[in-house]
């Protein structure tokens, strides 16, 4: 596996691969890799001749400077894991290369970016869709791999691909979880021992909502009330949002139909976690 730091270099290599008729799979990440990321890379390895992974902690998608400052950075370990998972190229650009002083273009998906994460993290999705567009242009992938854990992000990227007529297939892969159900996330490293124990409650609330829907409950506000109860029973938690939404429009469903997407964002101590599941 080769580590590439320069945008011009990744472009040269992927262009050559394309000319040779190789299918390119691409997994964008922000590093501090875990099994969730590796599941995407392994899937890409099985489906493509060239597998490219990027690690870039994208400054313009962070709305809180403290979150950006404390984002874990473990490049040496990450590079080993990416190689073991079978990638060919690891692209690690610097913020200066991605956003030179003269930078002034953004990509914004209007409606789908507004609710949920968009409301609690203003500008977040504009940062995501801008950097993802740049990475797609540099890597020229045929297939890109995203995690269901960030369901709104995957939905926003799907819309961007459609709206901008990008010739790219999007695969969204299942959330990889710890044995107690906590969705793997780079931010989990920052949980205190006590918060780590408490963070199980997100998955418990999702399971409770799933059960209610499977039993035939259809009133969204009752399902959400039950999720809130489950979460509030654990001290040190604070809910940003809990909702049952249409997976296509991301709009709250007053009367739940299936498929439905259950969304959660919860502070556990000082760490903000998101999770979701489809039922």
CA–CA separation, 27 vs 90, rounded Å? 10
Q: Does 36 bind ligand AMP (CB under 6 A)?
A: yes
Q: Does 7 bind ligand AMP (CB under 6 A)?
A: no
Least distance in angstroms from the C-beta of 68 to ligand AMP: 13
The three-state secondary structure class of 159 is: helix
Q: Where are the alpha helices (DSSP H) in the chain?
A: 7-19, 35-47, 65-69, 75-84, 95-98, 110-113, 117-120, 124-139, 151-163, 193-198, 200-214, 220-232
127-166 footprint of ligand AMP as x/- string (CB under 6 A): -------------------xx-xx----------------
CA–CA separation, 194 vs 234, rounded Å? 11
DSSP letter at 191 equals: -
Q: Does 87 bind ligand AMP (CB under 6 A)?
A: no
Q: CB under 6 A: which stretch of 12-20, 81-89, 175-183, 233-241 binds ligand AMP?
A: 175-183
Q: Which residue among 6, 34, 37, 124 is the active-site one?
A: 37
39-58 footprint of ligand AMP as x/- string (CB under 6 A): xx------------------
Distance of CA 165 to the CA centre of its chain: 22
Q: Does 185 bind ligand AMP (CB under 6 A)?
A: yes
Q: Does 176 bind ligand AMP (CB under 6 A)?
A: yes
Total residues interacting with ligand AMP, rule: CB under 6 A:
17
93: left (phi over 0), alpha (psi -120 to 50) or beta: beta
Q: Does 124 bind ligand AMP (CB under 6 A)?
A: no
> Catalytic annotation on 37?
yes
CA–CA separation, 209 vs 223, rounded Å? 6
Q: Which of 14, 54, 129, 186 binds ligand AMP (CB under 6 A)?
A: 186
Strand order in the sheet with 2-4: 2-4, 89-91, 50-55, 24-29, 143-147, 169-173
Q: CB under 6 A: which stretch of 81-89, 177-185, 224-232, 255-263 binds ligand AMP?
A: 177-185
Under the rule (CB under 6 A), what is the footprint of ligand AMP?
Answer: 29-30, 36-37, 39-40, 146-147, 149-150, 173, 175-176, 183-186
Active site residues: 37
């Amino acid at each position: 596996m080769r580590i590439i730091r320069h945008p011009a270099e990744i472009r040269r290599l992927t262009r050559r691969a394309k000319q040779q008729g190789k299918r390119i799979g691409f997994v964008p990440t922000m590093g501090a890799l875990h099994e969730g990321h590796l599941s995407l890379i392994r899937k890409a390895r099985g489906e493509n001749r060239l597998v490219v992974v990027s690690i870039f902690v994208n400054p313009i998608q962070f709305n809180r400077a403290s979150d950006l400052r404390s984002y874990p950075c473990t490049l040496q370990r990450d590079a080993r894991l990416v190689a073991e998972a079978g990638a060919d190229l690891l692209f690690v650009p610097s913020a200066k290369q991605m956003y030179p002083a003269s930078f002034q273009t953004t990509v914004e998906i209007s409606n789908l970016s507004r609710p949920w994460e968009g409301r609690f993290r203003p500008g977040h999705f504009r940062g995501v869709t801008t950097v993802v567009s740049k990475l797609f242009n540099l890597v020229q992938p045929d297939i890109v791999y995203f995690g269901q854990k960030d369901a709104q992000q995957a939905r926003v990227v799907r819309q961007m691909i459609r709206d901008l007529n990008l010739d790219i297939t999007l695969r969204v892969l299942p959330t990889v979880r710890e044995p107690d159900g906590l969705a793997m996330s780079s931010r989990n490293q920052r949980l205190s021992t006590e918060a780590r124990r408490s963070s199980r409650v997100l998955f418990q609330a999702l399971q409770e909502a799933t059960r209610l829907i499977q039993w035939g409950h259809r009133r969204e506000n009752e399902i959400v009330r039950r999720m809130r109860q489950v979460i509030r029973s654990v001290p040190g938690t604070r809910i940003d949002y809990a909702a049952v939404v249409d997976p296509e429009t991301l709009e709250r469903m007053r009367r739940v139909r299936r498929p439905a997407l259950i969304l959660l964002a919860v502070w556990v101590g000082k760490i903000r976690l998101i999770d979701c599941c489809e039922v």
